[in-house]
Amino acid sequence: MTATIIFILAGTLAATVPLLLAAMGELVAEKSGMLNLGVEGMMAVGAAAGFVTVAVTGSHALGLIVGGVAALLLSGVFATLSIVFLANQVAAGLAIGILGLGVSAGIGKNYEGTTVTPMPKLSFGALGDVPVIGPALFSHDIMVYLAIAAAFAVWFVLQRTKLGLIIRAVGESPQSAHSLGYPVALIRTACVLFGGAMAGIGGAYLSIAYTPLWADGMVAGRGWIVVALVVFGTWIVPRVTLGAYLFGAISLLELSIQGLGLNVPSQLLSASPYIVTIIVLVVISRNPVLIQLNSPMSLGQTYRPNG
């Protein structure tokens, strides 16, 4: 029993990292009014680029960076389409989603099914030896803790700084922000790129630390769950964070239940994150006031200066 608890706690912390990082990125992009549905593709590109980097250089830090940059470039395509070419954000998100999945397969082509050494775990000395808590909380790689720090940083910037105020203002009314002299296109682009980088780092973590192997399609819908997470959390950082951990835990369900020896069709377990996503989405969305009060007012709308 103790082993199961440790497994679930420790596993949840690690499984949440890609979700939390990507969700923080998407949250910032959406706060500026940009609905980027291409998270799945961005995470895939990050995963592939990060994996190949680690396979070649052996450096996990470099893998995370390259994964982040690769996805950032892809998100730049999204920003160009929807900000410069005034494309519908939904369509543009789908486009880079599809593009990203293709590109990730192209990058990882020669590495299908191979593995790399996972990211090294940090050592906390005596803390790691404390029963239950040690193995559950203090036997992780650095990203498990950095992801939490990133969530806090995003919260701090959005809620406590002038920069965050500007981002929120742009997300509410790009017209007003423009008339005050803020470079709306630039701010939105920067937020989208941040979202891309975070999704890429999240994807890279998946392939170089969590699994750690490359398989085509390994992101497996996480990108879409990330988009849903931002809605679940009603664009509020602590709630999105909580949601990410919830889904991190659910993704462990399959392994845990099999570990407990219960006889449940594996397909039901595989489908469970999607089923739970729909259920939570319904529960949150049925309260229109919650959505209306918290969603960025210009979310998904193409901004045309003075148009």
Partner 1 sequence: MRNIYLEPRTERSAFAPFLVSMLAVCLTIIAGSGLFLIYGKSPIAGFHAIFIEPLQSSYGIGEILLKLGPFLLIAQGLAIGFRARVWNIGAEGQLIIGAILASVVAIRFDGSTSSLLLPGMVLAGALGGMGWAGIAAWLRTRYNANEILVTFMLSSIALQILYYLVTGPLRDPQGFNFPQSITFSAAATFPILIENTRVNASLIIALVVTVLAWVFMQRSLMGYKLVVGGLAPHAARYAGFGEKRAIWLALLIGGAAAGIAGVGEVAGPLGMLQRTVSPGYGFSAIIVAFLGGLHPIGIVFSSLLMALIHVGGDFARLSVGLPSAVTDIFQGLLLTFYLASSLLLTHRLRLRKPDAVLTAEAAE
Partner 2 sequence: MTALLKLTGISKIYPAVVANDAIDLTVMPGEIHAVLGENGAGKSTLMKIIYGVTAPDAGTLEWLGTATRIKSPAHARALGIGMVFQHFSLFDTLTVAENIALAMKGSVKSITPRIKAASERFGLDVEPEMRVQSLSVGERQRVEILRCMLQEPKLIIMDEPTSVLPPQGVSDLFKTLKKLASEGIGILFISHKLDEIRELCDVATVLRHGKVTGTAVPREETSKSLARMMIGRDLPHAENRGSKAEGEVRLTVSDLSYVPDDIFATPLEHVALTLREGEILGIAGVSGNGQNTLVGLLSGETRLPDAMAANIRLNGAELGATGPMDRRELGLHFVPEERLGRGAVPEHDLSENSLLTGFGSGLAKYGFLNLGGMKQFSSNTIDAFDVRCGGPNAAAQSLSGGNLQKFIVGREISLKPKVLIVSQPTWGVDVGAAAAIRQKLIDLRDEGVAILVVSEELEELFEISDRLHVMFRGRLSPAIKTQSTNVEDIGLAMTGDFERLETPAEPSVVEHA
Residues that bind partner 2 (CB under 8 A): 161-162, 165-166, 168-169, 172-173, 175-177, 179-182, 288-289, 292-293, 297, 306
Q: How far is CA 203 from CA 209, 249, 260, in A?
A: 10, 18, 29
CB of 234 to partner 1, least distance (A): 13
The CA distance from 104 to 39, in Å, is: 13
Q: Judged by CB, which is closer to partner 2: 80, or 173?
A: 173
Q: Which is nearer to partner 2, 180 or 264 (CB)?
A: 180
For partner 1, give the closer residue by CB, 35 or 64. Answer: 35
- When CB distances are held under 5 to 8 angstroms depending on the partner's kind, the choice from partner 1, partner 2, none that residue 168 binds is partner 2
Nearest partner of 74 among 115, 102, 112, 32, judged by Cα: 102
| 166/185 with CB nearer partner 2 | 166
Closest contact distance (angstroms) between CB of 191 and partner 1 is: 19
Contact present, 21 and 201 (Cβ < 8 Å): yes
CB of 169 to partner 2, least distance (A): 5
Residue 165 site contact among partner 1, partner 2, none (CB < 5 to 8 Å, cut-off depends on kind): partner 2
- 76 vs 164, beta carbon nearer partner 1: 76
Minimum CB distance to partner 2, residue 88 (Å): 14
Q: Examine residue 85 and tell whether it contacts partner 1 (CB under 8 A).
A: yes
Binding partner of residue 149 among partner 2, partner 1, none, CB cut-off 5 to 8 Å per kind:
none
Nearer to partner 1, 163 or 290 (CB): 290
Per CB under 8 A, the list member of 3, 90, 133, 163 interacting with partner 1 is 90
Tokens 């000395």 -> residue: 125
Q: How far apart are CA 97 and CA 90, in angstroms?
A: 10
Residue 293: C-alpha distances to residues 136, 154, 233, 234, 244 (Å): 37, 20, 12, 9, 22
307 interacts with partner 1 by CB under 8 A? yes
Smallest Cα–Cα separation from 176: which of 306, 27, 33?
A: 306
CB of 199 to partner 1, least distance (A): 16
Binding test (CB under 8 A) with partner 1, winner from 5, 56, 98, 149: 98
What the block records as the tokens of 220 is 């497996």
Beta partners for residue 115, in sequence order: 213
Site for partner 1 in 223-262 (CB under 8 A): 224, 227-228, 231
Sites for partner 1 among residues 103-122 (CB under 8 A): 103, 105-106, 109
According to CB under 8 A, which one of 23, 69, 101, 170 is a site residue for partner 1? 101
By CB under 8 A, name the binding residues for partner 1: 37, 41, 77, 80-81, 84-88, 90-92, 94-96, 98-103, 105-106, 109, 221, 224, 227-228, 231, 265, 267-268, 270-271, 274-275, 277-278, 281-282, 285-286, 288, 291, 304-307
